[in-house]
């Protein structure tokens, strides 16, 4: 997670980028200006990567379209900045092409692939380049990359392996990376930096593409302000989270920060309930109560000292008794938010208990549904027609598949769009967990986690997320704010643990103390930036 480069990063599809370009043209900016700004901004970002740029060797690989055009402009500015600059043309440019002619006038002599038998010149240039720019294809790629372009990209990858100090830059996006879905071409380069134009593309936060972009830098290409109000997808950033975090007045009492009820746990899954309760408290809830089957009470009472308890009636077999939901609902009216599901199990009595709970819960209670509550919902066809209560749902891919009826492959192929569509269909805020977790609101907004941390792929980390979000809901945040702030805080907590102990062997309990630290750091960052 690199907050400095990801601040206020909106995410666009290729179609949205074309729309923004069209609006910019309609508002009086010329295409030539946009391309000029793009090339200049890219060159300026590249210069900024080196302590001293004059004398460096730059090689720009130029394709047939506007991405190549941007590359030609960038080459001219790199040349002006003192780099020894070569342009390698993978397709002929139109003789009347303005940016091509400007590059020639600047003294750059492009090398054409047709006259470079066996890529001997390209190999020679790759043997000495300090920086290579992939300006072969951008958002206009229409089919798999083949021929000379594929061969050239493969040669760059080979050269990069031999010379790790060579910096490889993608202009707008690594050629072959699909801006919408994150799919890649066989020859897509894994670059060090992607200098993207105007807006980051959705595919940078979807896999496999997310592994290919390197650090993402957004270049300002002069699209006028105010044209992007209907772009509803963004990467969650610290400033957003700061602006939505609840204030903590000094004369607060525990009622000020809301009450959370956690309905979770079973004989098999004791830890899930503990993690949810502790993380809700660590996220700042004033009071946390655990409602669990009464036979589990002694265990939880010993483990959770700050939590209060509502033992629920159970049958002789240790299942929820038929009046258990009524007991929970009677108490729930005094609570601001509830988390239902983690570790409850999936027995028929439990499913019935969850259904009764969901059909009786008040509209005023903020609700997070996770794990077995989601599994119980999935058993009812078109459950969203019946269950109208606003809620945050936190499925991982398998749970999402059960809720939606889609296959895991279909979901993974386009996580952002699938999450957006289903949030709208279901009328819920939906968190699709995974690397770069996606949060979608029924109104079309999407917020994506800046973090992909394999350390979080272990049992219980999802329970921690559920607890954080419920704790934030209890403090008065709405569902979408609680979800995106919760995802960000959870990601930061995970990054802190990874920084301390690495990504192997991280356990969910490690995250707990990092939750308030993450909140503190977000608040202090603002303090620091104000002075
Ligand atoms: N959207 C914007 O506001 C701006 C976009 N610009 C640039 O424009 C780019 C998009 O430009 P284009 O639409 O020209 O697209 P590209 O430059 O990505 O490439 C399209 C060209 O490649 C050809 N082509 C597509 N797939 C191919 C394949 N597999 N093999 C061989 N040739 C193939 C097409 O026929 C076309 O000539 C962006 O990525 C960006 O770099 C900038 O110039 C400035 C402003
Ligand atoms: K490119």
CA dist 99 and 102 (Å) reads 5
Ligand 1 nearest-atom number relative to CA 136: 17
* Residue 367 CA, ligand 1 centroid: distance in Å: 46
CA dist 261 and 280 (Å) reads 9
Reference 270, options 238, 244, 250, 293; nearest CA is 293
> What's the predicted TM-score (pTM) here?
0.93
How far CA 441 is from CA of 267, 391, 426, in Å, comes to 34, 10, 10
Spatial contact of 480 and 429, defined as CB atoms under 8 Å apart? yes
Binding site for AMP: residue ranges? 433-437, 462
Q: Is 143 in the pocket of ligand 1 (CB under 6 A)?
A: yes
Ligand 1 nearest-atom number relative to CA 137: 18
* Residue 134 CA, ligand 1 centroid: distance in Å: 12
Task: Verify cis geometry, omega within 30 degrees of 0, for the bond prior to 398.
Answer: no
* Residue 32 CA, ligand 2 centroid: distance in Å: 18
Give the other-Cβ count within 10 Å of 77's Cβ: 20
The bound ligand whose nearest atom lies closest to the alpha carbon of 20 is 1
Tell me: ipTM over 0.90.
Answer: yes
Structure confidence by residue, pLDDT tens digits, 3-62: 334 446 999 999 999 999 999 999 999 999 999 999 999 999 999 999 999 999 999 999
CA dist 328 and 310 (Å) reads 8
Owner of token pair 């972009």? 213
Strand spans (E) along 202-242? 215-219, 233-235
Q: Is 318 in the pocket of ligand 1 (CB under 6 A)?
A: no
Task: Select the CATH number that applies to the domain covering 254-417+458-530 from these four: 3.40.1190.20, 3.30.420.40, 3.40.720.10, 3.30.1330.40.
Answer: 3.40.1190.20
Binding site for K(+): residue ranges? 67, 134, 175
Kindly give the pairing relationship between strand 438-440 and strand 446-448. antiparallel
Average pLDDT over residues 318-324: 96
Mutual angle of helices 397-404 and 371-378, in 10-degree steps: 20
CATH topology for 3-231 is Rossmann fold (3.40.50)
CA dist 421 and 419 (Å) reads 6
Q: Is 172 in the pocket of ligand 1 (CB under 6 A)?
A: yes
How far CA 230 is from CA of 170, 174, 259, 401, in Å, comes to 27, 26, 36, 29
Q: Is 140 in the pocket of ligand 1 (CB under 6 A)?
A: yes
Structure confidence by residue, pLDDT tens digits, 431-461: 999 999 999 999 999 999 999 998 888 899 9
Structure confidence by residue, pLDDT tens digits, 328-387: 999 999 999 999 999 999 999 999 999 999 999 999 999 999 999 999 999 999 999 999
What is the phi/psi pair of residue 170, to 5°?
A: -100, 130
CA angle 358/378/372 to nearest 5° reads 65
The bound ligand whose nearest atom lies closest to the alpha carbon of 174 is 2
Among residues of the chain, what percentage have pLDDT more than 70? 97
Q: Is 70 in the pocket of ligand 1 (CB under 6 A)?
A: yes
> Is 54 buried (19+), middle (13-18) or exposed (0-12) by CB count in 10 A?
exposed
CA dist 247 and 229 (Å) reads 28
What local confidence, expressed as pLDDT, does residue 162 receive? Answer: 96
Q: Give the mutation target among 35, 140, 170 for probing the ligand 1 site: most ligand atoms within 8 A of CB.
A: 140
Q: Which two three-digit tokens encode residue 531?
A: 């002075």
Q: Is 29 left (phi over 0), alpha (psi -120 to 50) or beta?
A: beta
Mutual angle of helices 461-474 and 479-501, in 10-degree steps: 140
Q: Is 137 in the pocket of ligand 1 (CB under 6 A)?
A: yes
The bound ligand whose nearest atom lies closest to the alpha carbon of 34 is 1
* Residue 61 CA, ligand 1 centroid: distance in Å: 14
Structure confidence by residue, pLDDT tens digits, 170-206: 999 999 999 999 999 999 999 999 999 999 999 999 9
What local confidence, expressed as pLDDT, does residue 77 receive? Answer: 98
Query: With bands split at pLDDT 50, 70 and 90, how would you rate the model's confidence at 526?
Result: low
Domain boundaries defined on the chain: 3-231, 254-417+458-530
């Amino acid at each position: 997670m690199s907050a400095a480069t990801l601040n206020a990063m909106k995410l666009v599809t290729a179609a949205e980028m074309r729309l923004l370009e069209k609006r910019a043209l309609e508002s009086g900016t010329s295409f030539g200006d946009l391309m000029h700004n793009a090339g200049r901004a890219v060159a300026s970002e590249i210069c900024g990567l080196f302590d001293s740029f004059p004398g460096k060797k730059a090689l720009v690989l130029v394709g047939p379209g506007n991405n190549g055009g941007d590359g030609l402009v960038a080459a001219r500015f790199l040349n002006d900045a003192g780099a020894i600059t070569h342009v390698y043309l993978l397709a002929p440019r139109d003789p009347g092409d303005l940016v091509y002619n400007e590059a020639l006038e600047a003294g750059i002599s492009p090398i054409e692939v047709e006259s470079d038998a066996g890529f001997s010149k390209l190999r020679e240039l790759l043997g000495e380049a300090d920086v290579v720019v992939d300006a072969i294809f951008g958002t206009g790629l229409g089919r798999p990359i083949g021929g000379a372009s594929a061969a050239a990209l493969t040669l760059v990858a080979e050269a990069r392996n031999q010379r790790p100090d060579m910096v490889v830059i993608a202009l707008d996006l690594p050629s072959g990376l699909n801006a919408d879905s994150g799919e890649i071409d066989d020859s897509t380069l894994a670059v060090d930096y992607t200098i993207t134009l105007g807006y980051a593309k959705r595919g940078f936060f979807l896999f496999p593409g997310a592994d290919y972009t390197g650090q993402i830098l957004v270049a300002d290409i002069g699209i006028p302000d105010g044209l992007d109000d209907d772009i509803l997808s963004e990467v969650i950033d610290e400033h957003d989270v700061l602006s939505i975090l609840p204030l903590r007045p000094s004369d607060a009492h525990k009622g000020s920060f809301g009450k959370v009820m956690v309905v979770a746990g079973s004989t098999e899954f004791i830890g899930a309930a503990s993690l949810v309760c502790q993380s809700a408290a660590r996220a700042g809830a004033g009071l946390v109560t655990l409602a669990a089957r009464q036979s589990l009470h002694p265990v939880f009472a010993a483990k959770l000292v700050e939590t209060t308890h509502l033992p629920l009636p159970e049958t002789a077999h240790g299942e929820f008794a038929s009046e258990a939901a009524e007991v929970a609902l009677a108490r729930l009216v005094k609570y601001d938010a509830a988390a239902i599901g983690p570790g409850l199990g999936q027995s028929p009595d439990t499913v019935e208990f969850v259904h009764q709970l969901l059909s009786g819960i008040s509209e005023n209670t903020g609700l997070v549904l996770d794990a077995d509550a989601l599994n119980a919902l999935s058993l009812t066809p078109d459950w969203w027609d019946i269950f109208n209560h606003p809620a945050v749902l936190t499925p991982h891919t398998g749970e999402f598949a059960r809720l939606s009826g889609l296959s895991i492959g279909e979901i993974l192929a386009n996580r952002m769009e699938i999450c957006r569509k289903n949030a709208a269909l279901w009328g819920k805020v939906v968190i699709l967990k995974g690397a770069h977790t996606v949060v979608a609101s029924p109104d079309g907004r999407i917020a994506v986690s800046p973090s992909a941390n394999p350390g979080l792929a272990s049992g219980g980390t999802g329970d921690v997320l559920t607890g954080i979000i419920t704790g934030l809901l209890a403090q008065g945040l709405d569902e979408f704010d609680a979800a995106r702030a919760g995802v960000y805080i959870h990601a930061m907590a995970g990054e802190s643990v990874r920084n301390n102990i690495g990504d192997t062997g991280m356990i969910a309990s490690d995250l707990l103390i990092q939750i308030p630290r993450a909140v503190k750091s977000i608040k202090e960052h603002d303090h620091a930036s104000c002075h």
